[in-house]
Structure 1
Amino acid sequence: MRRLFLHINVSLDGYVADPAGDIDWRFADKEFQDHIDALLESIDGMVFGRTAFEQLAAYWPTAGEEVSATQRRRMHELPKYVLSRTFPRTGWHNSHPLGDDPARLLGDLKRQDGRDLALFAGGRAATSAVRLGVLDQLRLVVNPVLLGGGTPLFDGTYPKADLRLTDTRRFASGALLLTYDVAAPGTPVR
């Protein structure tokens, strides 16, 4: 059975975008790019919120030498699933809407054989995934910056979820990758 994990950059004060909606405060050195290459090679699909999907669909089909060959290839070939009832029409290869019952469709995808699925999203989609109870793991890249406002990682209401820290990685930039497993409802965290 595959897992669905959230992989997202966040500021130390809990924001995924600054007050202007920009994400250029995130670091993107060679070490981190190598991490992203390895991550993309390790998964069998990507899940996006509608907004992130639209932004990425405008960029990746024509991405050039500014990104690695691994990223260009994997962003093209991997299946892309969109958390949206209204599917944005793009020419981005292998894209699929999750429609009116994303929890059921994501559950079906997770029950298939294969490698894990990654949710690359913004705050609204991350909150929706927590609310739907479909996340198995959170991989938070905590960047050494205080933004003082912006788009919070989680916004709105969602059920309590117990987490267990399973791994940490420190990047030379000072960012930390914190990996948390999500306990099934009613399961104590050990």
Structure 2
Amino acid sequence: MGRLFLHTNVSLDGYIADAAGDIDWRFADDEFQGHIDELLESIDGMAFGRKAYEELAGYWPTAGDEVSATQRRRMHELPKYVLSRTLRATDWHNAHVIEDAPALAGLDGDIALFAGGGAATSAAGLGLLDEVRLVVNPVLLGGGTRLFDGEYAKTALTLVDDRRFASGALLLTYAVAR
């Protein structure tokens, strides 16, 4: 059995998308891209909410030289699990629909939950997360989609690692206390 961890970008005021739903405020320098390459090489699969899946599935299958060869390869070959009660089929290579968050607990290997506030809130609410990795971007958005927006139990976290990127963004890694 592996781990389920959330890895997502967030603004300093707690948003994962701005009021228009855009994520273009996130930084993506060479140092961060190297981190993403290493992360993708270290996981056994990834999970997304439906909306995030649809956006990513529209981009990654045709991604070009603007992303690294590692990212193109791993985003293609890794199993992708989509949390959705409405989506019935996928057309992105190696993507699978999961109707509810508890099914994430039965997946083998290390799974990164990359996107979706609803998916993150569901996983937190069910106590499924082993780790939370937040890339805190040095920006205040003032509104948009919150990372955790809903009901979930109080959860203690322990800071286990931090990394500062040249852009000023911080990767904060927290273990979920059991």
Which TM-score band (shorter chain)? over 0.9
Query: Alpha-carbon deviation of 1:88?
Result: 5.1
Question: Equivalent of 1:163, from 152, 157, 162?
Answer: 157
Letter in 2 for 1:85: R
Letter in 1 for 2:175: D
Match of 1:187 in 2: none
Query: Alpha-carbon deviation of 1:19?
Result: 0.9
Is structure 2 residue 30 aligned with structure 1 residue 30? yes
Letter in 2 for 1:80: K
Identity %: 75
CA contact (8 A) 2:40 2:71 kept: yes
Letter in 2 for 1:14: G
Alpha-carbon distance in structure 1 between the residues aligned to 2:111 and 2:5? 6
Alpha-carbon distance in structure 1 between the residues aligned to 2:13 and 2:23? 14
Unaligned segments of structure 1, at least 5 residues? 185-190
Alpha-carbon distance in structure 1 between the residues aligned to 2:150 and 2:52? 19
- Runs of 4+ aligned structure 1 residues displaced above 6 Å come to none
Is structure 2 residue 175 aligned with structure 1 residue 176? no
Query: In structure 1, the residue corresponding to 2:10 is in which secondary structure?
Result: strand
Alpha-carbon distance in structure 2 between the residues aligned to 1:19 and 1:85? 25
Match of 1:86 in 2: 86
CA contact (8 A) 1:50 1:88 kept: no
TM-score by length of 2: 0.96
Letter in 2 for 1:160: K
Unaligned segments of structure 2, at least 5 residues? none
Alpha-carbon distance in structure 1 between the residues aligned to 2:84 and 2:176? 23
Alpha-carbon distance in structure 2 between the residues aligned to 1:36 and 1:141? 11
Letter in 2 for 1:107: A
The within-5 A match list for 1:5-16 is: 5-16=5-16
Match of 1:188 in 2: none
Match of 1:102 in 2: 101
Superposed CA RMSD in Å reads 1.1
Match of 1:76 in 2: 76
Letter in 1 for 2:177: A
Is structure 2 residue 51 aligned with structure 1 residue 51? yes
CA contact (8 A) 1:83 1:125 kept: yes
Alpha-carbon distance in structure 1 between the residues aligned to 2:166 and 2:87? 39
TM-score by length of 1: 0.90
Q: Deviations over 1:124-180 (max 9, x none)?
A: 211111112111000000000111111111101111111000000000000000000
CA contact (8 A) 2:101 2:119 kept: no
